[in-house]
Structure 1
Amino acid sequence: MCGDQFLNVPASKGGSAGSDEPIGLIAGEGELPILVAEGIKRSGCTVHTVGLAGCFDERLPGYCDTFQSAGILRIGRWARILRRHGVTRAVMIGRVRKQRMYDPLRLIRQIPDRRAVSIWFHKLRHDHRTSALLAAVADSLAEMGITLMDSTEYIQDQLATQGVMTRNSPDAAQLADIAFGWPLLISALEHDFGQAMSVCDRDVIAVEAIEGTDSMIERTGQLCRRKGWVLLKGAKLKHDRRADVPTIGETTVRKVHQCGGRCIALAAGDVIIVNKPSVLKLADKLGVSITGIAGGNETELPAASGTREQSEQAATDQ
């Protein structure tokens, strides 16, 4: 979807509208904005959405009370649209590919407004990391009367939980890889250059950077031909949950399996599993275990089930 468009949509999905506070939704790519819109409706509030042009799911307007698209770099316009509907609090969720920031032609085509230009050349002059970018956007919106909320507030049921979430449990070798890699992941997260890492036989295979988790998984498959490696994904301590909460989905599980991974370890309470029941069902089908790790550097591991060789044989048999 692209360009600016405005829709007043009947509140036909997710519950009744108009009963309480109007909540704003600033929506990027993927299905997460739809899940958030449904959660807002279930809470009895109305949903007023700004869909980021070229990003939002075409189904999203049907889940909102009002919907209008706006350019990715039109931050002042986001606030004006939301204030028009009496919104003072909003959720910002859904992926916006950061690679676009390094394409000058794409940036020019987006025609940034004065707010975006000010953020880029003043607040981000010496630091373009994701956390700095999102904090600057949140501060700018607050100056215009829109406070960003914890983006997981309406989708708590989609968060990773502590312990094994699939029928398959990590084997002894995978547990050893989690114990080895988790403190390293926490350390990397504090430097804010990625949310994921892959480990095999107590060695780091790849660390996520700007390319995103899916591309890092593909790189892991190229670098590590041996099956059974582990994907670790988490969030730094005191992570700003107003945006950029770590996420996995069905695509993540499929890619891990295709590229030789057999275990995914997630920070419990800090990583969103998009359409969690479907993701866990797919992981069971593919023989990939998914487990939630609690407590920052305090790595609490689940019980092992068999050896790496047994896990590989089970996956082959399916």
Structure 2
Amino acid sequence: MAPSPLKLGLIAGGGQIPTLIRDACRAEGRPLFIAALNGFCEPASVAGAEHDWFDLPQVGRLLKALKSAGVQQVCLCGHVSKPDFSNLKPDWRGAMLLPKLIKATLIGDDALLRVVTETFEGEGFGIVGVDALMRDLLVREQAYSTRQPTEQQETDIRAAMAAARDLGIADRGQAAVAAQGIVVGLEDDAGTDALLLRMASRPEARGGVLAKCVKPQQDRRVDLPTIGVTTVENAAAAGLSGIAVEAGAALMVDAAATAAAADRLGLFLIGLRHGG
């Protein structure tokens, strides 16, 4: 007889991924508790699931709730923007953690997430990545769109991928835009959508390429690069010609719809292995 699956605690931010994991757990009969983050998680993501709502600085209350619910493994998923630490009102455990978080913020997102994962692990929770729960979300090494990149666009892909990787090594972001072989935009704390919004007002970005790749040093259980229909729509609005994403190290939400959006808007969309 197969052992019962471990109960999962989903630390749920915004976007579709929390809902997808909820549905996958339901389908396989895996016990689930959703810790929904106020201001980020959509109410629809917790429908029909055991859950509670938490503010970001309620660290002690969150850990206590996970233990009371019998959670054994934790998955951090969904979009959460970096908070203004000066406005947070933490509980006592959050107050103890706050200096470490602020110090890590000065280094980068990967350092910040390392503090978070170490906190959960220190309380006895195993960390499981979205890719381990939803392997079908991983970007594959393939063309997703009908349109293929031109020779010039392949040059732009290489330039943007290299820039995105350098940015990741510096722990500053996961995406870059290149056009005519020149890097014209780099992701910052505001994220990929904000990068694409900036590119919309940069004439030199028109016809360029967006590339996203994982930070080489990051814990791949958390914060994998993610794209979806909105990414494609924003890239098109910025006048870009296509998107290249690192295969095996990034997530694509609803690949069929994302590929269809690329075809509808005339963009290429490909998954490439590092160095591809």
Tell me the residue number matched to 2:92: 114
Amino acid of the residue matched to residue 267 of structure 2?
V
1:285 shift after superposition: 0.8
Other-structure match for 1:81: 65
| Distance change in 2, residues 1:151/1:75 (3 Å) | farther
Q: 2:161 aligns with which of 182, 185, 188?
A: 182
Distance 1:193 1:274 in 2: 23
Distance 1:242 1:119 in 2: 21
Partner amino acid, structure 2, of 1:260: G
Aligned to 1:70: 54
Q: CA deviation at 1:145?
A: 2.4
Equivalent residue letter for 1:77: R
Match of 1:16 in 2: none
Match of 1:92 among 63, 68, 76: 76
Q: Deviations over 1:70-120 (max 9, x none)?
A: 11111222221111121111111011111x326x34x2xxx2123322222
Contact persistence 2:12–2:77 (CA under 8 A): yes
Pick aligned residue for 2:177 from 198, 217, 230: 198
Aligned to 1:229: 208
Q: What RMSD, in angstroms, separates the aligned Cα atoms of the two structures?
A: 1.9
The answer (yes or no) to whether the contact 2:199–2:205 under 8 Å persists in 1 is no
Larger radius of gyration: 1
Higher mean C-alpha deviation, range 148-157 or range 205-214: 148-157
- Correspondence for 1:132: 111
Instruction: Describe the SS at the equivalent of 1:121.
Output: helix
Counterpart among 11, 16, 34 of residue 26 in structure 1: 11
Identity %: 26
CA distance in 2, matches of 1:175, 1:194: 22
* Preserved contact between residue 50 and residue 67 of structure 1 (Cα < 8 Å): yes
Three-state SS of the structure 2 residue aligned to 1:222 is: coil
1:43 equivalent in alignment to 2:21? no
Distance 1:20 1:182 in 2: 38
One-letter identity of the residue aligned with 1:247: T
CA contact (8 A) 2:164 2:173 kept: no
Moved more, 112-121 or 252-261: 112-121
**Displacement of 1:61:** 1.7
In the comparison of the two structures, how many residue pairs are matched? 273
Deviates most, 255-264 or 218-227: 218-227
CA distance in 2, matches of 1:67, 1:226: 44
Whole-Å separation in 1 of the counterparts to 2:112 and 2:215: 16
- Letter in structure 1 aligned against 2:243: I
Partner of 1:101: 84
Kindly report which structure 2 residues correspond to 1:50-69, keeping only aligned pairs within 5 A, or say none: 50-64=35-49, 66-69=50-53
Q: Find the aligned partners of 1:287 and 1:63 in 2 and give their Cα distance.
A: 39
Distance of aligned partners of 1:225 and 1:125 in 2 relative to their CA distance in 1, 3 Å threshold: closer
**In the TM superposition, what is the alpha-carbon distance from 1:127 to its structure 2 partner?**
4.7
TM-score (norm 2): 0.92
- Tell me, in whole angstroms, the C-alpha distance in 2 between the residues paired with 1:123 and 1:211: 18
2:227 is aligned, of 248, 263, 272, to 248
Deviation digits for residues 177-235 of structure 1, max 9, x if unmatched? 11233223212211110111000001111100111111111111211356321001111
- Work out the CA distance in 1 between the residues paired with 2:39 and 2:11: 13
**Residue 81 to residue 174, structure 1, CA distance change in 2 (3 Å):** same
CA contact (8 A) 2:184 2:205 kept: no
Give yes or no for the alignment of 1:212 onto 2:197. Answer: no
The aligned runs of 1:2-17 (5 Å cut-off) are none
Contact 1:170–1:289 under 8 Å retained in 2: yes
Report if aligned partners of 1:167, 1:289 keep a CA contact under 8 Å in 2: yes
Question: Matched residue of 1:68: which SS?
Answer: strand
